[in-house]
Amino acid sequence: MRWPAEWEPHRATWLAWPHNPDTWPGHLEAARSEYVEIVRALQGREAIELVVADEAAEASVRATLAGAGVDSDAGIRFHAFPTNDVWLRDSGPIFVEDAGKLVALDFGFDSWGGKYPPWDLDAALGARISAAAGAPTREPGFVLEGGGIDGDGDGTILTTESCLLNPNRERPPRTRDQMEARLAEWLGARSVVWLAEGIAGDDTDGHIDDCARFVAPGVVVAARAETGPDAALLAENRSRLEEAGLEVHDLPMPPPHRIDGQWCPASYANFYLANGVVLVPVFGAATDARALDVLRDLLPEREVVPVACRTLVLGLGAIHCLSQQEPALDGDPR
């Protein structure tokens, strides 16, 4: 079993249209306007599999896309799968390679330790997406969120203690040895690099995709804050990455980002690598340009596309959290 790296070729990106007003209270339409830009940036690079509630929702989304100048018939396939929310990185399946064929792993989903009931529709989403993708489905039998892990496609996985070992995910509480064995069995991990915790305001208990990401085998970008609540913990995370023998490049953190008094977990590390492109969340801050330059230097073969996420991040996530890649495998008979 091998978990392909995000930078490997994709057949498609899976997305779900924002619909829950509780996720973006008072700002749902503004969040949708930013979300359209994710679709626009991906269109023509790979298939877009877009989850909507039903046929009426599909018609509404098509009208919204058309109004923004996006052709909803150009490489977009709609799926009428009702959801509680839209964070497919965590509720959707994780696609892996097994003997040259694509397999969908339908991990359990419990809304990040039971934080936002109900989550029954999201818990059922992995199996529905797997079936629509035409991939055989396997159920590992434990909760694992895609945002809580990052891999290099060659057996090294990054994660955080605060998330993967959190007692709200499983009783009795998990151990490192247990989780390393599970990651080896299901994702082909040969080495697991444990960071301490994630950034402030992250309701996932510290997902890795807000603080450290692979950009190539052995090469990592690590969020760095000079001041504020994240400075010390991100410095500790960076030290652990260096101790693991990884090449580490600093990615600045944006300044504190609040909407209506709500602290938002804004991070440039929540980028998404798609075919020929990297979609980078930006927040209208002076640090935006520096973060984009870091990624341009490290990913010269990709177009670096900034996507405004000033409102999307009110939902406590951004581009990576919203998306899930389906790899394209050579020789896959599907």
Question: Mind listing the pLDDT tens digit for each residue in 274-302?
Answer: 999 999 999 999 999 999 999 999 999 99
What is the reported pLDDT for 332? 57
Tell me what percent of the residues of the chain surpass a pLDDT of 90. 98
- State the pTM of this model: 0.97
Distance CA 207, CA 43 (A): 27
Q: In what order do the strands lie in the sheet with 303-308?
A: 272-274, 277-282, 303-308
Instruction: Tell me if residue 321 is catalytic.
Output: yes
b/e string for 115-137 if b means 16 or more Cβ within 10 A? Answer: ebeebeebbbbbebbbeebebeb
Q: For residue 276, give Cα distances in angstroms to 43, 212, 215, 246, 251.
A: 12, 21, 13, 24, 21
- 334 pLDDT higher than 80: no
Compute the average pLDDT of residues 11-30.
98
CB 215 within 8 A of CB 298: yes
Tell me the sheet residues that pair with 326: 12
Tens digits of residue pLDDT in 73-100 = 999 999 999 999 999 999 999 999 999 9
Tens digits of residue pLDDT in 96-151 = 999 999 999 999 999 999 999 999 999 999 999 999 999 999 999 999 999 999 99
CATH code at 10-327: 3.75.10.10
Tens digits of residue pLDDT in 254-273 = 999 999 999 999 999 999 99
Tell me what percent of the residues of the chain surpass a pLDDT of 70. 99
228-231: list long-range contacts, CB under 8 Å, 24+ apart: 228/200, 228/253, 228/256, 229/200, 230/199, 230/200
- 179 pLDDT higher than 90: yes
What tokens were used for 230?
């994240």
**Average per-residue pLDDT for the chain:** 97
What is the reported pLDDT for 57? 98
Could you report how far apart the first and last alpha carbons of the chain are, in Å? 18
* Cα–Cα nearest to 156, from 70, 216, 200: 216
